[in-house]
Amino acid sequence: MTISQNPRLPYNLWRICLVAMTAAGFSLALTGYNHGLPFIDYSDEMTMWTRGRATIDPTWDMFQPEYPPGMVWLSALVQSIQIARGDPYIDPAGATAVGRLSSVAAYCAALAVIMLVTWRLVEAAWGGWQALLAGVSAGLFWMLLPLAVLHARYAMPDAWVSLGFMAAIDAGLEGWRRSSERWLWLSLLLAILATLFKWQAAVTLLVPGLMFLRFWPDRRRLLRIGVIYAVIVGGFSIWVVFVRRALEGGLYMPGTEVSAPTPFTVLDNLLFQVLNIGPGWIFGLLALAGLLLPASRRLIRDRALWTLPLMVILLNGVISINGSRLFERHYLPGAAALAVLAGIGLSGLTALLWRWGWIGRTAGLGAVVITLATLWGMAGQVYAMTAEYVRPDRRVLFAEWAGQNALDGVMMVTDRNLAAAIDPLYGYRGQKIATPEWGAFIAVEDVTDEKLAATQTRYLVKMPFITLDHLTTPLTPLITSGDDARLRGETWTVLYAGDLPPLLTPPYPTFGSSIELRGAWIRPEAVCPGEAVESQFLWGAGRPPEQYYSYFLHFWSEATGEISAPINGLALAGEDRPTLSWTVRDELLVGPPKVWTVPDDLPPGDYDLWLGVFEPVSGVRLALDDGRDVQVAGRLTVKSCPV
């Protein structure tokens, strides 16, 4: 028996392709699903989390209660589990990560359903080899659709509704093929579940209703089924329309009003569906071929292939209630159905052309080449998107920096996305950052000297190219995350608002060829014994330090020599920024102000204040470039004052 005569070969290859492609789809969707962020970076995901919180906590406001509850209930379940596990903090990032993983799973399950329904439709009518080509092609069309991969990585309902949409259709078609009432009731259940994730999926409620016509000769059975179906669908529809208020205006598009679909809006949405959601060659021409090819007549008659285009048309009709050209994600379930038709179209078209001699075979080969080139372009888009998602995000660095360095003052942020990075509602879980009463975000044009003073703002964050020439408050750049092409997300610069020690002129005094003294002040410069003095230092790192270091500040004069006072062993930039964390060369690290007292028994005179850096365990001091181990940080006159 030759390979071509082996009837089991295409079936065995099909099973291998189904498993392999589902695994590949899972790996593809999972890569970058967390977007390189420890917090929510897509505002609609925060909306889903907030609604989920309001479901289990009455102190939270449930805005837009008419929104489909499927993803909201899933978010509420995840949050309930988080609370039950004893998590003392709200954790939007954790709940959203679980939601994103669920979308990855739904995308992969939809991929498997698309391949299965395509195989079943074609295999019995055209044979195993054509079914193999059709099923694999349909799977590739979905797996490499950039919009599908994008929403597989969001904790949003779109991957779920696409799965439910196709699963309801698949169960309905299987019920038609098997003349099985159980499959049709399963189709109704899946249609209800899909509708809970997005109201537009309610069109799939018609699938089991139409498929029940398969039992037309048995009038009594059909009547019983019809009554039960009408009660279930009618009751569910009443709940959707009157309890959940699914037809409220502006539900999906703010500012829009619900209106009856018109032929123009439906046609406009259909054209947008087949030409813009994916490549027109696949989701337009090949899908149309899958419906109109002469060989498809048997599929239409015996396999109810007409269900797929009908559901696409009805989906776009429901979308048209809110006008035409909505958000792209609303069309995603229709793209899943069109992927099936396109797989059938490619398989049927190549089989038809193959019978027309060398001209037909050349045309068939051309169709395959065009399809492969289109898939290559889709894969390129998915690769670019994935490469972007797996890059480290500057907002992560900003959140980490703020959690280590901005705990001693109020912070304002002039970019909304950057402000979200330090907002617990978007998943920030570091130590709380103090912000003005309205939150961290403030528009650039709203920043004034008066607001900086009134809110006692110490840290002002902006994009590097933004100027703040209208301010007179001293602003010192501390750190910038800018043009590093390895990073993604918003660029940012943190400014210190207020007085700091004056910056020294490079080259800076450098301890151990690593730790740079970039600024210092000692004030006042003349005091009496027993009086207070404030010192503060600015630091940087020419190269990352290799150990933890501390600093000392000692008195020195020719008469007394070095006096081991007033400071011995403080962290240079505070306990939250040990020297091992100084990895950014251009970062200016602000040491905390230190107020100390001149010893009562210190003889009057002029003193140099010797600043040194040392390793606290061994006590070994770091040397400067000139070989000394101390730098004169300032001078202090101790006056002879009457007691």
What is the mean pLDDT, run by run of 10 residues, along the chain of 643 residues? 57 93 96 79 88 91 86 94 82 90 97 96 89 96 97 96 97 93 96 95 95 87 93 95 79 62 91 95 96 88 92 94 86 97 95 85 91 97 93 89 91 93 85 92 96 96 93 95 84 95 94 96 95 97 94 96 94 92 93 94 95 96 95 95 78
CA 424 vs. chain centroid, Å, equals: 16
Q: Is the peptide bond before 524 cis (omega within 30 degrees of 0)?
A: yes
pLDDT at 424: 85
**Alpha-carbon torsion, ordered 314, 319, 322, 325, to 10 deg:** -120
Considering Cα of 575, then 578, then 584, then 585, what sign does the dihedral take? positive
pLDDT at 4: 47
What's the pTM value of the predicted model, to 2 decimals?
A: 0.85
Tokens for 110? 């939809």
pLDDT at 470: 93
Nearest to residue 28, comparing CAs of 159, 116, 154, 144? 144
> Coil, strand, or helix at residue 605?
strand
Single-letter amino acid, residue 240: V
First-to-last C-alpha distance (Å) of the chain:
115
214 contact partners, CB below 8 Å, separation of at least 6:
175, 176, 179, 184
- Is residue 619 within 8 Å of 556, Cβ to Cβ? no
Any idea what DSSP says for residue 504? P
In angstroms, the CA 33 to CA 36 distance is 8
In angstroms, the CA 33 to CA 389 distance is 8
CA 288 vs. chain centroid, Å, equals: 35
Domain with CATH 2.60.40.770 in the chain: 510-638
Pick the CATH number of 510-638 from 2.60.40.2140, 2.60.40.770, 3.90.650.10, 2.60.40.2470: 2.60.40.770
pLDDT at 5: 52
pLDDT at 298: 85
The residue to which tokens 């978007």 are assigned: 426
